[in-house]
Chains A and B, each alone.
Chain A
Amino acid sequence: MDKKTILVVGAGISGITTAIEAAEVGHEVVLVERLPYLGGRVAQLGRYFPKLCPPYCGLEINFRRIKNNPRVQVHTSTELVSIRGDRGAYTVELLQKPQYVNDRCTACGACVEVCPVTRDDDFNYGLTTTKAIYLPHEMAYPYRYAIDTSVCMKLECKKCVDACAYRAIDFSRQDQRFEVKVHSVVLATGWTPYDATKIENLRYGSYRNVITNVQMERLLAANGPHQGLILRPSDAKAPESIAFVQCAGSRDDNHLPYCSTVCCLASMKHALEYRERNPQGKAFIFYIDLRAMGRNEDVLSRVKADENIVLIKGKVARIDEEPCGSLVVEAEDILSGLKRKEKVGMVVLATGMTPNLPALDKVVVDEFGFFNAEAVEEGIFAAGCDKAPLDVSSALKDATGMALKAIQG
């Protein structure tokens, strides 16, 4: 076998998959991740459809594969700066942000106790806070603390430095630029939830109990804001009912014209999980089409079997807030032709995915910002949601295929 080195940019489920699949063949992989930990959006999910199983399960296996494989070189807090050269001989410039917490960290947690600064926890999409020094999540890999440099007072405070028995915190660290020579590049930079504040009629950001589907994922998660209890933001009470607004900003010329593939199933999963945890609760799903592809149809069958999950074909036109924090959702029920108003305790907006590709000359994107494979040279590939909105299973199958493309030639 002719051993090659490939660069994988982004360590969400797609990047992790491309990296480890190529490395297990026997190739060298440089895996870079912008955040201080691996796992990406998948680490933030509460459950996978259709089996409603925890994403940590698959991550545990994949992290074990990476930990045990000396051919994967992981660089966290690192971004891609430039790609020069041609297939087979790329020179890639990378920028590693200062890692104030180094690998001497044992994750003992002494630093957190003394840290005086709090920040919004982006892992929980702002639903909770952490200290400026924080463990990103239970299964963070590398398993060490990270510092939010935008709020940390660094040497002006340095309480954590004094509290750390292992000399693991070092504020003298600087940006580090370095270059690697690689055979090919796979971009797996993933996606960002569409900014729900742009969908003005749905009032995200102004009504506290209007949340997004990614926030709902966090509520479902065992390590979420309420350890898996679904409580609404305004009063931390279990909502007696929830409305799910499908295609919130998707299939819509004013926002995202495309379909984001996962939102129907995500909402069905949310409704099922909510009903399981709140047997008295009622869920309403307002949709255009219910897109449960392949055997994911089983999830829809389960939803239909639950008489307390009501499916309404119609687009939500407006939402009003009552003084108690409850919300009135108004939509036209297309099947009956009648206007429908439902008062609910919480609203979940099924917002779509927008791609995160880096702005580089060699990376050409389509009208929506996804990777345009036809227009990019052989040697630079994209995996997973860089290409199109995909569910986990489709993303990692694509990422496995990109491992093959990356080692060819």
Chain B
Amino acid sequence: MDKIGVYLCKGCDLSACLDLSALAKVASGEMKAASCKSAEALCSPEGRALIEQDLAGASIDGVVIAACSPRAKPEAFAFGEHVLVERVNLREQVAWCSKPQDEDTQMLAEDYLRMGIVKARKSLIPVPYKSESFSFKLMVVGGGVTGVTAALEASRAGYEVILIEQESTLGGLSKTLYRQLPMATPFRQLETPAVVALIEQLGQRPNVEVLCNTVITQVTGEPGNFGVTLSSNGQERTLTVGTFVMATGAKPYDAAKLTQYGYGASPDVITNHQFEQMAKEGALVRPSNGKPINSVLFIQCAGSRDAEHLPYCSTYCCGTTLKQARYVRELRPEANAFIIYKDMRTPGLAESFYREMQDDQRLFLTKGEVQAVRSENGALLVEVGKTLLNDDLAITVDLVVLAVGLVPNGADVLKLKYRQGEALPTLRYDFPDSHFICFPYETRRTGIYAAGAIRAPMTVAASIDDARGAALKAIQCLEMTSRGEAVHPRSGDKSYTELYLSRCTSCKRCTEECPFGAFDEDEKGTPKPNPARCRRCGICMGACPERIISFKNYSIDAIGSMIKELEVPEEDEEKPRILVLACENDAYPAIDMAGQHKLQLSAFVRIIPVRCLGSVNTVWIKDALSKGWDGILQLGCKPGDDYQCHFIRGSELMQTRGENLKEVLTKMSLESERIRTEFVEVSDWERIPAIINEFSEQIVAMGANPFKGM
């Protein structure tokens, strides 16, 4: 943008804190802005009118608003998508956190203004990415209750769906059920498995194609344009779809590993899935002799909540066992049933069914630990310790049922022809999700949404809920991608990576480090971008040693120029300069909120928001240090197992890139302490002054960067 109009706000303490006429001189004089105006409150209708007038007169094509944080009042400064707006944060990050009418505060504000103008000049309005062909079709992978629901619900919203299932019929695990737990008020009666009716309804949808006996042999492309090769009964078929819902479900934990409960040793020790089958067939009998059972004992958490097997809780087993105890009452009214549990987990309204079952006189429930299951005189003897009766128990029964957990299934069935491998990347316990609290359907493959038991163990009712949500996300991805917008977490962003490939050295950093596998590679290792897979984090931009990756409104050049634009005071002025690269997601808001609390920050720091710490390119740091900046502080989100990085790996990558930074410092003979990385949370505003000011003091103590003035 060439014709930049600069607008200075006088409100919210700015005019009391700063010399605005000196700021105006920086804008119009030194920085040669097309115009510089001020108003009492730029966000007021009058202030806005001033800017709109200039835009209408076409005297400017970009707007720099020097006022409050970009997080405040965005609606007041939105002038349509054809007007570039750059916000200079003089309120939260200057006036509210610095000494008023002070030389250093004034210098801080002037530097921010310079940086804002440079950024605006170096930015372009993004042109949305549109692929040549676009498919609005959804593919649902897996025909269990989750997949069937996702297909049905997406089709009801008017989208064409292809549902594929590797087995010969739909229904998955839930078709093996005799009855299901209540899903509706009053939550006391067992129901016919929902999947039966759902399959029937699906069959009546005109816009759904169901392919059984079908597997995927290859997926290429990107959202809106995935090329899929299917194999159905040996026949290959290729087609294009726009998005995927992954509903490949879960499988029961392998009971063969549970020898401590006698599984395998006695045919009368079976799993809850085998018991379900037996109930469905209408006869509760002992597998060893085919005689009807007179007693049964259910062992909860068989291989679950167990560090040796599945450390997590599988959620469905407590309810399922209560349901199966009801089968006993229906099919063998005189039989006794025992349930040995660690904790009875029937959360929410499922408690009603538990209470109902507690009235069953022949059902005996106790907390306890099963110590052994032995065959004795043709029956099974179960030894239970640590019971509620404060006694060890020995219970003789005809049948033992192990309530086994669920193991996610099928993260690898998509056969993605991606540079980073064919499976969906998984996290702890092999669940293929990325932000399971706030954004549960997100995977690390754009346009592919996980639903149901593949992403967390869950009941039928929860799977149905989950399927709807994932279907919505898949539909949303289609619509957003078709408009050239990014999906989560930079939803709506129309910028995307552009590569200047003639300077690419095929080092493969970008193709390896993109957390979302957005790049493929040709034979020579040259990246092949798939813009619709891009989440716009800029991690590739941070990775690229040749600096050939950029966005229209976020680039190495733009940030680098902001850093290089600033004058670094001479050593004898005793005004060190510290560059703070702050993740815009959590660190930057935390700094804003420190300002809101009027916590004072060193006026020697210059804060630049970055899309992710992973987008920080070493060259910025190198440039800053060679220009005489005294220290670099990087503020990002927590990495590790409980990461808070919005792009999963950004802050983790920044740590590994620390090696490159050390090299930079060694080459320049600078102390390694001049660069520091801290992980902060959005609510860490109380910590911000300590982090910034301590670092600032440490830099002062260390003495000036010898490159100053060179």
Contact = CB atoms under 8 A, between A and B. Distances in A.
Interface of A: 1-2, 21-22, 24-26, 48, 50-54, 56-58, 60-61, 64-65, 67-69, 104, 106-108, 138-139, 143, 165-166, 221-223, 227-228, 251, 257-261, 289-298, 300-301, 313, 334-337, 366-368, 370, 372-374, 388-390, 392-394, 396-405, 407-409
Nearest to A389: B348
B352 A257 contact: yes
Q: How large is the interface on B (under 10, 10 to 19, 20 to 34, 35 or more residues)?
A: 35 or more
B343 A388 contact: no
Contacts of B683: 54, 56-57, 221-223
Contacts of A58: 437-439
A295 B585 contact: no
Given A61-B438, A61-B489, A258-B349, A335 B75 contact: no
Interface in B185-223: 185-186
B367 A294 contact: no
Nearest to B41: A166
B465 A293 contact: no
Interface in B68-102: 68, 71-75
A24 B480 contact: yes
Interface in B475-493: 475-476, 479-480, 483, 489, 491-492
A293 B343 CA distance: 11
Contacts of A334: 388
B311 interface: yes
A258 B186 CA distance: 11
Given A56-B683, A293-B345, A393-B438, 6 more contacts: A24-B480, A104-B45, A257-B352, A295-B429, A297-B305, A390-B348
Interface stretch (B151-159, B394-402, B525-533): B151-159
Contacts of A301: 311
A64 B457 CA distance: 31
Contact of A297 (B73, B312, B472, B644): B312
Interface of B: 11-13, 40-41, 43-45, 68, 71-75, 153-154, 156-158, 184-186, 305, 311-315, 343-352, 355, 367, 386, 388, 390, 428-429, 431, 436-441, 456-458, 462, 465-469, 471-473, 475-476, 479-480, 483, 489, 491-492, 585-586, 589, 593, 596-597, 638, 642, 644, 646, 681-686
B465 A107 contact: no
B681 A400 contact: no
B311 A335 contact: no
B11 A108 contact: yes
27 contacts: A2-B158, A25-B475, A25-B480, A26-B483, A53-B681, A58-B438, A60-B682, A67-B75, A106-B12, A108-B13, A165-B41, A223-B683, A227-B686, A289-B344, A291-B347, A293-B315, A298-B311, A334-B388, A335-B388, A393-B438, A393-B440, A394-B462, A398-B465, A398-B469, A400-B473, A401-B153, A403-B472
A322 to B, nearest CB: 31
A258 B586 contact: no
A60 B462 CA distance: 27
Contacts of B41: 104, 106, 165-166
A313 B468 CA distance: 38
Contacts of B467: 401
B305 A106 contact: no
B390 A366 contact: no
Contacts of B479: 1, 24-26
Nearest to A401: B468
Contacts of B355: 257
Nearest to B468: A401
Q: Which 5 A-B pairs have the closest CB atoms?
A: A401-B468, A400-B469, A58-B438, A366-B185, A404-B472
B491 A65 contact: yes
Given A293-B315, A335-B390, A67 B440 contact: no
Contacts of A21: 472-473, 476
Nearest to A61: B489
Contact of A298 (B154, B157, B312): B312
A401 B682 contact: no
Contact of B11 (A26, A50, A106, A397): A106
Given A294-B456, A404-B157, A57 B586 contact: yes
